[in-house]
Structure 1
């Protein structure tokens, strides 16, 4: 590999990458807000003015957004290893694991403490809902990054806890990934990553769709999306396209994402069920473009970029506000669907404010650094 160049991500935040991450977390929050109200935008007054396909694209692409996150995470983590250590084969294990622990564990610990308190108080949406589930099981699986496996064995977990499944996939991948970087020859490592990335859909097909939870949350399909991000980063470290080529890559990547988010049914029926491949490819193309030619900040998108920089805080804590809002709405209006659309902007604002406070608090306590391009 060529000697790594200092990446512009090291000097300042990359607005394009932050906006992509902001879009992903926005889709996740809106998806989780839509589910409790049962198609909340459609039966509301807003549904009389906007096309159903657009409303569905806004409301029900949270799962696809998680795979955007996986691709982003693999890209940024790999790029950081290359920048700091010069090559994947020279990854500094102590520094890598310390950085992951510093980023993940403090806020995860706080989230688990709050989730446990609400579970003990038997608050709906946070307390175990079946005899197969227990607070000890929820906590133990979250702390050992086996939450998705636990959920696969016991059924859907309480909504407040359910977001932890994707963190389990990501962190298990990062336990083993640096070790493979050290142990395997470069060509063998890249070959394994390619097989994993290309096997995304076949790996999902190994799980029967009747096992709904595990079909959505198994380890290997999520790790395949992470592999797409790793491979994209390795390509970005060797190749920096010019402005014209980057623009074409960006348009192609955006086209892939728009196609999946807006017309997933057509992609599934007529493009060989390639939805998640297009998500990973689209995100990868955008990352290549943004890395090579970082876009300038644009008026009107600062809030989205800021949501991207707060994506981990938003990911861990948005369900507290979402479930609280649902409970308040139902206590005031019952099952009336007409006005559900009015809660969306206040919920997003509250999530944003809470995430900002959490970030500031963590920085003041020295638990988190103000890193320019966190994964």
Structure 2
């Protein structure tokens, strides 16, 4: 979830409003999910007149939303790489890693430092106190992109640390991405075959994890997340092959993707009974369909205006910061709710403040820290990583 800022010098048009809105919707579902674990909508007054399937669809699709993030991330990283280098086999690994590091690491260091300070201060909800866990182990796991592995062997970390499991999946994929592009990029069929194999393996890997006992690894294992990212990569490669598809095709893909995601979110129980683990193909396939449709709609002569969704697009642009920092808001509001003895029936009134405060905190972190750090790092080290590329492409 870390492809949320345009590359330096990128035109404003490089941002796709529809994809930003989809990303914004996904991050709101994640925040709502983590808030609902503590204050579930199904125990509030809304349950008196709204059906359980609808309320559960609103609050218990955090993992599904993360899978959508994975597909979006694979699509955007690949599309921007193709725009910058023309072909994935020409990708510059130093430049790619600088872009990812400048975007990810400063904000990651900041949240790790804050969580560590709160642990040392003994603040409730932030203390790491399980027998096989330690602050040092959590820090190493967070900065080494293996929080999922650490949790799989020791148990769940406090919520502020736990959210970094998806970052571990995504960044391990992108550590390998340039290497795979440079070795297999020129053999297009082999590159596509590897990505397709990852996508096709997703439900079978989940079945194996479930049969092995499920638990944390069932939720946070590397391969299923990488499968979703791989589908995003394939979608971006396909998008470059069809520059100007018929308008009806883009609209149809958006409609199919939207219907598929609604089915997964709001009819999850019947779907599970019907197709079991294969529903993950419907989830990531619907996300890829919607992303492709939105991408081609933006390229049309008369693209959708998407009026009134500026707030949702803003959430999408800030989704990395919101994702890493929203648990501070969740824990603060839950602490106030519980200590104040508020009635659970009115708990639904706390959701909007939680979403708004998570957005405001993400905005503050982005403008005050992550964006300035990203710009400084790219200015400071951009010339160094460009030098070999310039030398290789200079005439003579």
Q: TM-score, normalised by structure 2?
A: 0.88
User: Are positions 1:266 and 2:270 aligned together?
Assistant: yes
User: Are positions 1:279 and 2:297 aligned together?
Assistant: no
**SS of alignment partner, residue 360 of structure 2:** helix
Q: Offset of 1:159 from its aligned partner?
A: 1.4
- Contact 2:102–2:373 at 8 Å: present in 1 too? no
Give 1:316-355 correspondences, 5 Å limit.
316-333=324-341, 336-355=343-362
Q: Offset of 1:14 from its aligned partner?
A: 1.1
Change in Cα spacing, 1:364 to 1:232, as seen in structure 2 (3 Å) is: closer
CA distance in 2 between counterparts of 1:118 and 1:363 reads: 21
**Residue 226 of structure 2 corresponds to which residue in structure 1?**
223
Q: Offset of 1:208 from its aligned partner?
A: 3.4
CA distance in 1 between counterparts of 2:42 and 2:109 reads: 37
**Residue 250 of structure 2 corresponds to which residue in structure 1?**
246
Q: Offset of 1:300 from its aligned partner?
A: 2.6
**Residue 97 of structure 1 corresponds to which residue in structure 2?**
97
* 1:170-212 superposed Cα distances (whole Å, 9 cap, x missing partner): 0000001110111122221110100001110111122235240
Which range moved further: 238-247 or 137-146? 238-247
- Contact 1:73–1:229 at 8 Å: present in 2 too? yes
CA distance in 2 between counterparts of 1:26 and 1:330 reads: 23
CA distance in 2 between counterparts of 1:368 and 1:269 reads: 49
User: Are positions 1:358 and 2:365 aligned together?
Assistant: yes
- Contact 1:260–1:275 at 8 Å: present in 2 too? yes
Q: Offset of 1:339 from its aligned partner?
A: 1.4
Q: Which runs of 5+ in 2 are unaligned?
A: 1-9, 379-396
- Contact 1:170–1:223 at 8 Å: present in 2 too? yes
Which range moved further: 320-329 or 210-219? 210-219
Q: Which runs of 5+ in 1 are unaligned?
A: 1-7
* 1:249-282 superposed Cα distances (whole Å, 9 cap, x missing partner): 1100101100000001111111343222111111
CA distance in 1 between counterparts of 2:147 and 2:371 reads: 30
Give 1:17-166 correspondences, 5 Å limit.
17-37=19-39, 40-166=40-166
**SS of alignment partner, residue 273 of structure 1:** helix
CA distance in 2 between counterparts of 1:132 and 1:176 reads: 30
* 1:132-169 superposed Cα distances (whole Å, 9 cap, x missing partner): 11100100000000110000000111112110000000
Change in Cα spacing, 1:368 to 1:41, as seen in structure 2 (3 Å) is: farther
Q: Offset of 1:368 from its aligned partner?
A: 4.2
Which range moved further: 202-211 or 166-175? 202-211
CA distance in 1 between counterparts of 2:175 and 2:227 reads: 15
- Contact 2:27–2:65 at 8 Å: present in 1 too? yes
User: Are positions 1:207 and 2:214 aligned together?
Assistant: no
- Contact 2:160–2:324 at 8 Å: present in 1 too? no
**Residue 296 of structure 1 corresponds to which residue in structure 2?**
304
Change in Cα spacing, 1:338 to 1:254, as seen in structure 2 (3 Å) is: same
Change in Cα spacing, 1:120 to 1:366, as seen in structure 2 (3 Å) is: closer
Q: Offset of 1:247 from its aligned partner?
A: 0.5
Q: Offset of 1:43 from its aligned partner?
A: 1.6
Structure (1/2) with the larger helix percentage = 2
Q: Offset of 1:49 from its aligned partner?
A: 2.0
- Aligned CA-pair RMSD: 1.7
Detail structure 1 runs of 4+ shifted over 6 Å in the superposition: none
CA distance in 2 between counterparts of 1:154 and 1:14 reads: 40
Q: TM-score, normalised by structure 1?
A: 0.92
CA distance in 2 between counterparts of 1:366 and 1:225 reads: 29
CA distance in 2 between counterparts of 1:279 and 1:264 reads: 10
Give 1:177-216 correspondences, 5 Å limit.
177-184=177-184, 185-208=187-210, 210-216=213-219
